[in-house]
Protein backbone atom coordinates (compact mmCIF):
# COMPACT_ATOMS: atom_id res chain seq x y z
CA UNK A 1 0.00 0.00 0.00
CA UNK A 2 1.37 3.39 -0.97
CA UNK A 3 1.84 6.16 1.60
CA UNK A 4 -0.82 8.33 -0.05
CA UNK A 5 -3.42 5.53 0.06
CA UNK A 6 -2.62 4.87 3.71
CA UNK A 7 -3.11 8.53 4.58
CA UNK A 8 -6.45 8.58 2.76
CA UNK A 9 -7.62 5.58 4.76
CA UNK A 10 -6.50 7.12 8.05
CA UNK A 11 -8.37 10.34 7.24
CA UNK A 12 -11.60 8.32 6.92
CA UNK A 13 -11.45 7.32 10.58
CA UNK A 14 -14.41 9.10 12.27
CA UNK A 15 -13.67 12.17 14.41
CA UNK A 16 -9.89 11.81 14.74
CA UNK A 17 -8.85 10.78 11.24
CA UNK A 18 -7.60 14.15 10.01
CA UNK A 19 -5.64 14.92 13.17
CA UNK A 20 -4.04 11.46 13.25
CA UNK A 21 -3.03 11.67 9.59
CA UNK A 22 -1.45 15.07 10.15
CA UNK A 23 0.60 13.78 13.08
CA UNK A 24 1.82 10.80 11.07
CA UNK A 25 2.45 12.73 7.89
CA UNK A 26 4.06 15.72 9.61
CA UNK A 27 3.02 18.13 6.89
CA UNK A 28 3.75 21.78 7.67
CA UNK A 29 0.59 23.48 8.89
CA UNK A 30 -0.44 27.11 8.50
CA UNK A 31 -3.38 28.30 10.60
CA UNK A 32 -5.51 30.77 8.64
CA UNK A 33 -7.41 33.34 10.70
CA UNK A 34 -9.88 35.58 8.89
CA UNK A 35 -10.23 39.16 10.15
CA UNK A 36 -13.03 40.49 7.99
CA UNK A 37 -15.46 43.30 8.69
CA UNK A 38 -15.78 46.50 10.66
CA UNK A 39 -13.71 46.57 13.86
CA UNK A 40 -15.73 47.03 17.03
CA UNK A 41 -19.19 46.00 18.14
CA UNK A 42 -21.96 46.51 15.58
CA UNK A 43 -25.46 45.17 15.15
CA UNK A 44 -28.30 44.39 17.51
CA UNK A 45 -29.62 40.89 18.22
CA UNK A 46 -27.01 39.29 15.98
CA UNK A 47 -23.89 41.06 17.20
CA UNK A 48 -21.28 41.72 14.54
CA UNK A 49 -17.92 43.37 14.11
CA UNK A 50 -14.40 42.30 15.04
CA UNK A 51 -13.72 42.39 18.79
CA UNK A 52 -11.21 40.68 21.05
CA UNK A 53 -14.13 39.14 22.96
CA UNK A 54 -15.16 37.19 19.86
CA UNK A 55 -11.68 36.57 18.46
CA UNK A 56 -9.80 35.55 21.61
CA UNK A 57 -10.74 31.88 21.24
CA UNK A 58 -10.01 31.59 17.48
CA UNK A 59 -6.66 33.34 17.98
CA UNK A 60 -5.72 30.91 20.75
CA UNK A 61 -6.76 27.93 18.63
CA UNK A 62 -4.75 29.20 15.67
CA UNK A 63 -1.54 29.14 17.71
CA UNK A 64 -2.33 25.67 19.09
CA UNK A 65 -2.49 24.05 15.64
CA UNK A 66 -0.36 20.85 15.51
CA UNK A 67 2.87 21.01 13.44
CA UNK A 68 2.33 24.76 13.20
CA UNK A 69 4.72 26.52 10.82
CA UNK A 70 3.00 29.91 10.67
CA UNK A 71 -0.21 31.82 11.26
CA UNK A 72 -1.74 33.66 8.31
CA UNK A 73 -4.12 36.58 8.82
CA UNK A 74 -6.62 37.32 6.05
CA UNK A 75 -7.40 40.98 6.62
CA UNK A 76 -10.35 42.65 4.92
CA UNK A 77 -11.47 45.63 6.98
CA UNK A 78 -12.17 49.34 6.46
CA UNK A 79 -11.35 50.01 10.13
CA UNK A 80 -13.43 50.96 13.13
CA UNK A 81 -12.57 50.98 16.82
CA UNK A 82 -8.91 51.86 17.57
CA UNK A 83 -9.21 50.16 20.96
CA UNK A 84 -10.34 46.83 19.51
CA UNK A 85 -7.73 47.13 16.74
CA UNK A 86 -5.01 47.49 19.37
CA UNK A 87 -6.35 44.71 21.61
CA UNK A 88 -6.63 42.18 18.78
CA UNK A 89 -3.19 43.03 17.37
CA UNK A 90 -1.59 42.81 20.85
CA UNK A 91 -3.09 39.37 21.49
CA UNK A 92 -1.80 38.07 18.16
CA UNK A 93 1.69 39.46 18.78
CA UNK A 94 1.80 38.14 22.36
CA UNK A 95 1.07 34.59 21.19
CA UNK A 96 3.40 34.87 18.20
CA UNK A 97 6.27 35.89 20.48
CA UNK A 98 5.39 33.27 23.10
CA UNK A 99 5.14 30.42 20.57
CA UNK A 100 7.93 31.79 18.34
CA UNK A 101 5.70 31.40 15.29
CA UNK A 102 5.87 33.79 12.31
CA UNK A 103 2.72 35.67 11.33
CA UNK A 104 1.90 36.67 7.76
CA UNK A 105 -0.83 39.21 7.03
CA UNK A 106 -2.60 39.03 3.66
CA UNK A 107 -4.62 42.12 2.79
CA UNK A 108 -7.64 41.45 0.61
CA UNK A 109 -9.94 44.22 -0.68
CA UNK A 110 -9.16 46.70 2.09
CA UNK A 111 -6.74 46.98 5.00
CA UNK A 112 -7.34 50.58 5.91
CA UNK A 113 -7.29 52.53 9.17
CA UNK A 114 -7.90 49.91 11.90
CA UNK A 115 -7.65 47.23 9.21
CA UNK A 116 -4.07 48.29 8.55
CA UNK A 117 -3.47 48.33 12.32
CA UNK A 118 -4.42 44.63 12.32
CA UNK A 119 -2.25 43.90 9.28
CA UNK A 120 0.75 45.32 11.15
CA UNK A 121 0.44 42.40 13.57
CA UNK A 122 2.07 40.37 10.79
CA UNK A 123 5.84 39.94 10.55
CA UNK A 124 5.29 40.35 6.82
CA UNK A 125 2.39 42.10 5.08
CA UNK A 126 1.30 41.06 1.60
CA UNK A 127 -1.52 42.30 -0.60
CA UNK A 128 -2.98 42.24 -4.07
CA UNK A 129 -1.82 44.98 -6.39
CA UNK A 130 -5.33 46.47 -6.32
CA UNK A 131 -5.90 46.19 -2.55
CA UNK A 132 -6.62 49.44 -0.69
CA UNK A 133 -3.99 50.05 1.98
CA UNK A 134 -3.33 52.83 4.51
CA UNK A 135 -5.63 55.53 5.88
CA UNK A 136 -3.39 55.93 8.93
CA UNK A 137 -5.38 58.61 10.69
CA UNK A 138 -8.34 59.30 12.95
CA UNK A 139 -11.73 60.62 11.90
CA UNK A 140 -14.82 61.74 13.81
CA UNK A 141 -17.94 62.58 11.82
CA UNK A 142 -21.50 63.51 12.65
CA UNK A 143 -24.33 65.94 11.96
CA UNK A 144 -25.59 69.12 13.61
CA UNK A 145 -29.28 69.99 13.94
CA UNK A 146 -29.61 73.31 15.86
CA UNK A 147 -31.20 75.18 12.94
CA UNK A 148 -33.69 72.35 12.38
CA UNK A 149 -34.87 72.47 15.98
CA UNK A 150 -35.37 76.22 15.78
CA UNK A 151 -37.27 75.88 12.51
CA UNK A 152 -39.74 73.30 13.81
CA UNK A 153 -40.12 75.01 17.18
CA UNK A 154 -38.49 72.41 19.41
CA UNK A 155 -36.66 73.55 22.54
CA UNK A 156 -33.62 71.52 23.55
CA UNK A 157 -33.33 71.01 27.34
CA UNK A 158 -30.11 69.55 28.75
CA UNK A 159 -29.14 69.57 32.44
CA UNK A 160 -25.73 68.30 33.55
CA UNK A 161 -23.56 68.01 36.62
CA UNK A 162 -20.17 68.84 35.14
CA UNK A 163 -19.79 71.65 32.63
CA UNK A 164 -18.20 69.40 29.99
CA UNK A 165 -20.72 66.56 30.22
CA UNK A 166 -22.70 67.61 27.13
CA UNK A 167 -19.86 68.65 24.82
CA UNK A 168 -20.32 68.04 21.08
CA UNK A 169 -24.10 67.93 21.47
CA UNK A 170 -25.39 67.74 17.85
CA UNK A 171 -28.44 69.81 18.78
CA UNK A 172 -26.33 72.78 19.91
CA UNK A 173 -24.07 75.07 17.83
CA UNK A 174 -20.44 73.92 17.76
CA UNK A 175 -18.28 75.25 20.57
CA UNK A 176 -14.61 76.02 19.71
CA UNK A 177 -13.49 74.63 23.09
CA UNK A 178 -15.31 71.37 22.41
CA UNK A 179 -13.66 71.07 19.00
CA UNK A 180 -10.23 71.72 20.51
CA UNK A 181 -10.84 68.94 23.04
CA UNK A 182 -11.88 66.53 20.30
CA UNK A 183 -8.76 67.41 18.30
CA UNK A 184 -6.59 66.63 21.33
CA UNK A 185 -8.19 63.19 21.61
CA UNK A 186 -7.69 62.54 17.91
CA UNK A 187 -4.01 63.56 18.08
CA UNK A 188 -3.42 61.20 20.99
CA UNK A 189 -5.01 58.24 19.17
CA UNK A 190 -3.20 59.17 15.95
CA UNK A 191 0.13 59.21 17.80
CA UNK A 192 -0.58 55.71 19.16
CA UNK A 193 -1.38 54.50 15.64
CA UNK A 194 1.84 56.01 14.27
CA UNK A 195 3.92 54.41 17.02
CA UNK A 196 2.38 51.03 16.26
CA UNK A 197 3.21 51.34 12.54
CA UNK A 198 6.77 52.51 13.23
CA UNK A 199 7.35 49.74 15.78
CA UNK A 200 6.10 47.04 13.42
CA UNK A 201 7.46 48.32 10.09
CA UNK A 202 10.69 49.97 11.26
CA UNK A 203 13.19 50.83 8.53
CA UNK A 204 10.98 49.17 5.89
CA UNK A 205 8.98 52.42 5.76
CA UNK A 206 10.14 54.28 2.66
CA UNK A 207 8.42 57.67 2.90
CA UNK A 208 8.23 60.58 5.32
CA UNK A 209 5.69 60.94 8.11
CA UNK A 210 3.76 63.63 6.28
CA UNK A 211 3.02 61.17 3.48
CA UNK A 212 2.49 57.98 5.46
CA UNK A 213 0.41 59.37 8.31
CA UNK A 214 -1.78 61.85 6.43
CA UNK A 215 -4.80 59.53 6.36
CA UNK A 216 -4.34 58.93 2.63
CA UNK A 217 -4.76 55.42 1.21
CA UNK A 218 -3.16 53.70 -1.77
CA UNK A 219 -3.26 50.59 -3.94
CA UNK A 220 -1.19 47.59 -2.93
CA UNK A 221 1.37 48.41 -5.62
CA UNK A 222 1.91 51.92 -4.28
CA UNK A 223 1.84 50.71 -0.67
CA UNK A 224 4.75 48.41 -1.49
CA UNK A 225 6.76 51.37 -2.79
CA UNK A 226 6.01 53.26 0.43
CA UNK A 227 7.07 50.32 2.59
CA UNK A 228 3.62 49.80 4.10
CA UNK A 229 3.59 46.23 2.78
CA UNK A 230 6.40 43.83 1.92
CA UNK A 231 5.23 42.31 -1.33
CA UNK A 232 2.41 41.48 -3.70
CA UNK A 233 1.11 37.95 -3.22
CA UNK A 234 -1.75 35.65 -2.26
CA UNK A 235 -2.08 33.20 0.61
CA UNK A 236 -1.72 29.89 -1.22
CA UNK A 237 1.15 30.88 -3.50
CA UNK A 238 3.20 32.55 -0.79
CA UNK A 239 2.72 29.80 1.79
CA UNK A 240 3.65 27.10 -0.73
CA UNK A 241 6.74 29.06 -1.71
CA UNK A 242 7.79 29.40 1.94
CA UNK A 243 6.83 25.99 3.35
CA UNK A 244 6.69 23.67 0.36
CA UNK A 245 4.08 22.19 -1.93
CA UNK A 246 2.64 19.95 0.82
CA UNK A 247 1.84 22.77 3.24
CA UNK A 248 -1.68 22.52 4.61
CA UNK A 249 -3.78 25.64 5.17
CA UNK A 250 -6.11 25.15 8.12
CA UNK A 251 -8.93 27.64 8.55
CA UNK A 252 -9.70 28.68 12.11
CA UNK A 253 -13.31 29.81 12.33
CA UNK A 254 -14.87 32.06 14.92
CA UNK A 255 -17.78 30.74 16.93
CA UNK A 256 -21.19 31.43 15.43
CA UNK A 257 -24.02 33.09 17.28
CA UNK A 258 -26.62 30.97 19.11
CA UNK A 259 -29.26 31.27 16.37
CA UNK A 260 -26.77 30.24 13.68
CA UNK A 261 -25.44 27.31 15.76
CA UNK A 262 -28.94 26.09 16.61
CA UNK A 263 -30.73 26.51 13.32
CA UNK A 264 -27.99 27.16 10.75
CA UNK A 265 -29.54 30.51 9.86
CA UNK A 266 -27.61 33.55 8.75
CA UNK A 267 -30.22 35.66 10.56
CA UNK A 268 -29.42 38.73 8.47
CA UNK A 269 -32.95 39.99 9.09
CA UNK A 270 -32.12 40.72 12.72
CA UNK A 271 -29.19 43.02 11.97
CA UNK A 272 -29.42 46.40 13.58
CA UNK A 273 -30.20 48.92 10.81
CA UNK A 274 -28.08 51.74 12.21
CA UNK A 275 -25.09 49.44 12.67
CA UNK A 276 -25.49 48.18 9.10
CA UNK A 277 -25.60 51.72 7.74
CA UNK A 278 -22.50 52.72 9.70
CA UNK A 279 -20.64 49.72 8.32
CA UNK A 280 -21.83 50.59 4.80
CA UNK A 281 -20.41 54.10 5.17
CA UNK A 282 -17.01 52.77 6.27
CA UNK A 283 -16.78 50.33 3.35
CA UNK A 284 -18.08 53.00 0.97
CA UNK A 285 -15.12 55.27 1.68
CA UNK A 286 -12.96 52.81 -0.26
CA UNK A 287 -15.32 52.26 -3.18
CA UNK A 288 -16.73 48.94 -1.89
Let me know if 113 is a catalytic residue. Answer: yes
Q: Which of 23, 165, 183, 246 is catalytic?
A: 165
DSSP 3-state of 104 = strand
- Which secondary structure element, helix H or strand E, spans residue 35, and what is its range? strand 29-36
Rounded to an integer, what distance in angstroms lies between the CA atom of residue 253 and that of residue 62? 9
Residues in the chain: 288
The 8-class DSSP code of residue 248 comes to E
Candidate list 69, 113, 131, 135, residue with the active-site label: 113
Beta strands in 171-287 (DSSP E): 217-219, 231-232, 248-252
Q: Which of 43, 33, 89 is nearest to 250 (CA)?
A: 33
CA gap 216, 133 in Å, rounded:
9
State the virtual CA torsion across 25, 28, 34, 35 in degrees, nearest 10.
150
Is residue 85 annotated as a catalytic residue, yes or no?
Answer: no
228 phi and psi, to 5 degrees?
-75, -25
103 three-state secondary structure: strand
Catalytic residues: 113, 165
Amino acid sequence: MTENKMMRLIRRVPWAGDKLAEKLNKQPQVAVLRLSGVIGRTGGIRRGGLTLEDLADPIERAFKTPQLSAVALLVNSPGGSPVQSALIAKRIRALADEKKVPVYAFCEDVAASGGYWLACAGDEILADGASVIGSIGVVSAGFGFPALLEKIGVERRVHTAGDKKAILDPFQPENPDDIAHLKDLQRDIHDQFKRHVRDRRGDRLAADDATLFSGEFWTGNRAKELGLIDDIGDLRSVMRAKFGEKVRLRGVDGRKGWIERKFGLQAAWVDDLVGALEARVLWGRYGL
